[in-house]
Chains A and B, each alone.
Chain A
Amino acid sequence: MNAYLSFFLMSVLALLQSTLLPQFKVFGVQPDLVLLAVVAWSLLRGSEEGMLWALIGGLALDALSSARLGVNTLPLLLISFLAGLWQRGIVRQEILIPFLVIPVASLVYQGAVVALLRLLGWPGTWSASLRHAILPTTLLNTLLMPAVYVLMRWIHRRTHDENIEW
């Protein structure tokens, strides 16, 4: 997939996460659409392209968020780097692998966001964050991952000859 299309897709996902998804909360939370896409793409195409998606999606989320620049981007970069390490070791067509990866990725991502926020003076506590945000969001992300992965895999098959060069 070329860089322009990646930019457009990740910007749209970030916009949907800020505008559309808050209207349809489940368990009091909304899913991390950008995270799901980044994890799926990193598993399918590796860290290089995964980190591009993480960079664009993360910056878009930071622009729409009240948090400082980098609070969403840094954890997404970390997740895409780690998820991309699996890319060569797994059978890409397996839906089970992303289903198993996303709970860990979701916990790490949200934990990193909480850590960064607290470092910048946010008064929220770890226990409240775990109980009311991290765990319910992880559950929701896990339930949605199969659908997102199937969609990403379809895009991957249509564009797998187009590799992004840094």
Chain B
Amino acid sequence: MKFKLLQDAIIASYRTAAIVVLLTVITGVASYLSLLVFYAVSDSWAAPIRLSPSHEKVLAIQPQVATIEASLLNQRTALMKAVDEQDLLKRSTGDVSDTVNQLATAINADAAAMNVTSAALGDVIKEKEAVVREADKAVAAARDLLLSSEKELAAGLITQDVAAARRLTAQSAITAAADLKASLAQLKYQQSQLSRGASASKGSGKSVQGVQLVQQQKELDTTLVASNAQSLLLEETINALRSTIVEQERLLAVAKQSPFFRARSEIVHVAFVPYSNLKSMQVGDKVYDCLLQVVICSEVGKVTRIYDAEDYARHPLFKTDLKGQLVELELSDKTASFSQVIFIGGRPLFL
């Protein structure tokens, strides 16, 4: 009897357990299949994401922003330096240009003066040559006098003193003639120097000094050209830096608008919305969170912003990879951010 009662109890327990198991399985399978169908047709679901300062994407964006800021700072500094360098270069280029002009003017003036002096010297040389010719004649006469003095001295026609005085006079005449010739030669040399100097300033290369002057002039010209080239380069560098800075500032502004950046100091509630569901969404749409995935839903907030950047996430049921965008949420019930799925725009099954 007891065994029979035990058997009946076992049977009863088994049947109860079997019913519970079967009902659970059937309910589970039916729910799963229903969810599959629901997610296949629903276009209002979104996956909430709670961005905290320790979120990996929040942490990842900070060094990126810092890098942009550092790069921007470097470029601004480089721009300032380039601008200063350009100013300095402009001033030195101006000085060099003035010097070149002055040198050219001086060279021309020198050449003109040399020409005049050379012409004047030419006249002097002619006069001097005439004098030299006269001197030569005097020298010849002096030499004759010397000869005759010797003869006369020898003949005793003149005294030693007279002979000596005659010799002195003749010698003075000869020396003076020689001096005249020397000075004439010097004058001719000076004249040739001046004419060579004047022609060297035109580039003929016949005077060392002239060549040196021309060399200096060329060096100054080269320095001027180099300065101009450097100035152009600096100009391009400055333009490039300016456009880069503008771009970096734009990038920085965009990065700072990202929710991941804003979440570095506070929790930001966003939701991933796949592209297929984004079409019907707009700022201001109400957000709903449901108790059993899709039923018993309540309003928990609204959409405050739709971000442009593309993002990726996994489908909450199918676990397939999806592309979409993030939307920012203003949640009245913060616990909704812990749900797997929320709905935007309306209750999914109107429940």
Asked if A pairs with B, the answer is: no
User: Residues of B at under 8 Å CB distance from A?
Assistant: none
